[in-house]
């Protein structure tokens, strides 16, 4: 009887160890999302039901790094990932700023010492310039994501030029800094458009290599597990700070990536690394699509 009990206890302890190991690597279900504000107003600009969950204990931190961000314009115009020599990644948030979700996300990023890149829509910049000022004040990078979020491949050159200039001007007005790179809405841009836009605005065109389809709102755990399973060194991760679920997914996602040894940099920093290693034959970046 005693031996049977002992071996049963051993199995229990071994099982517990596995659970603890899994928890220490970061799992997508480990962070509870705040309950949806079902009883309160949803479409107000000042919804007190949205609160960043309190941090319970220390969270993993992105290391302090002093990295170049002055990428050189090379022959390649667009990037969906960058070849790097270490586990560097860039996480990007599109379609904001949003008055509630972006500040919540900024709290999460600040707690982890992570700098992200925000591809902002100009009309939202004009609506919430104070949110964008905080984004810049906390060291994040801004990219141009057009003014009205229409598909460039079906637009005239004049309309595209106006979309990009209006957004650039809105960002400069709000923050005093220029967008560094461009992400076309839906990733849709013709090769000819890439060429003249790059020549006129000096924007590299930034696509992505990790797409959790968070805009379809599959739930925070699915967003998290898709990002954790697809991210590799040099990845550019796509997400949207417009959606509450995406921001709900971020504590577990960011912690999971940090615990796997990834180091977060901005898109410009990632591009500067590509330029540094461009002479090595193994460092050719993957073709963007
Ligand atoms: Zn977008």
In the chain, the domains with their CATH numbers are 74-283 (3.20.20.370)
Q: Which of 140, 145, 240, 243 is catalytic?
A: 240
CA distance 182 to 105: 21
Q: What is the pLDDT along the chain (289 residues), one digit of tens a residue?
A: 455 555 665 665 555 544 444 445 668 875 444 555 555 444 545 555 655 555 567 889 999 998 988 888 878 899 999 999 999 999 999 999 999 999 999 999 999 999 999 999 999 999 999 999 999 999 999 999 999 999 999 999 999 999 999 999 999 999 999 999 999 999 999 999 999 999 999 999 999 999 999 999 999 999 999 999 999 999 999 999 999 999 999 999 999 999 999 999 999 999 999 856 554 443 333 333 3
- What is the 44 CA–ligand 1 centroid distance (Å)? 22
- What is the 243 CA–ligand 1 centroid distance (Å)? 12
Largest pairwise CA distance in the chain: 84
- What is the 13 CA–ligand 1 centroid distance (Å)? 48
243 as an active site residue: the answer is no
- What is the 186 CA–ligand 1 centroid distance (Å)? 6
> How much is the pTM?
0.80
- What is the 168 CA–ligand 1 centroid distance (Å)? 16
240 as an active site residue: the answer is yes
- Is residue 23 packed enough to be buried (19+ CB in 10 Å), middle (13-18) or exposed (0-12)? exposed
């Amino acid at each position: 009887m005693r031996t049977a009990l002992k071996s049963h206890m051993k199995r229990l302890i071994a099982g517990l160890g596995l659970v603890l190991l899994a928890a220490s690597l970061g799992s997508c279900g480990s962070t509870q999302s705040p309950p949806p504000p079902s009883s309160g107003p949803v479409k107000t600009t000042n919804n007190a039901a949205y609160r960043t969950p309190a941090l319970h204990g220390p969270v993993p931190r992105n290391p302090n790094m002093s990295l170049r961000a002055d990428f050189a314009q090379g022959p390649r115009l667009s990037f969906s990932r960058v070849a790097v020599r270490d586990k560097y990644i860039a996480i990007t948030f599109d379609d904001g700023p949003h008055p509630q979700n972006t500040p919540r996300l900024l709290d999460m990023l600040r707690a982890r010492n992570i700098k992200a890149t925000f591809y902002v829509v100009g009309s939202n910049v004009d609506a919430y310039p104070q949110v964008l000022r905080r984004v810049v004040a906390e060291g994040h990078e801004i990219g141009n994501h057009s003014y009205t979020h229409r598909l460039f491949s079906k637009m005239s050159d004049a309309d595209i030029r106006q979309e990009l200039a209006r957004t650039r001007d809105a960002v400069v007005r709000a923050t005093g800094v220029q967008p560094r790179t461009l992400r076309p809405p839906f990733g849709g841009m013709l090769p000819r458009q890439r060429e003249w836009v790059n020549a006129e605005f000096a924007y590299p065109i930034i696509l992505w290599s990790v797409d959790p389809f968070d805009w379809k709102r599959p739930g925070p755990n699915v967003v998290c597990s898709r990002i954790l399973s697809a991210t590799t060194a040099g990845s550019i991760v796509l997400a949207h700070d417009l959606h509450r679920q995406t921001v709900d997914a971020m504590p577990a996602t960011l912690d999971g990536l940090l615990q796997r040894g990834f180091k977060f940099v901005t898109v410009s920093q990632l591009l500067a690394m590509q330029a540094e290693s461009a002479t090595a034959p193994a460092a050719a970046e993957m073709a963007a699509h």
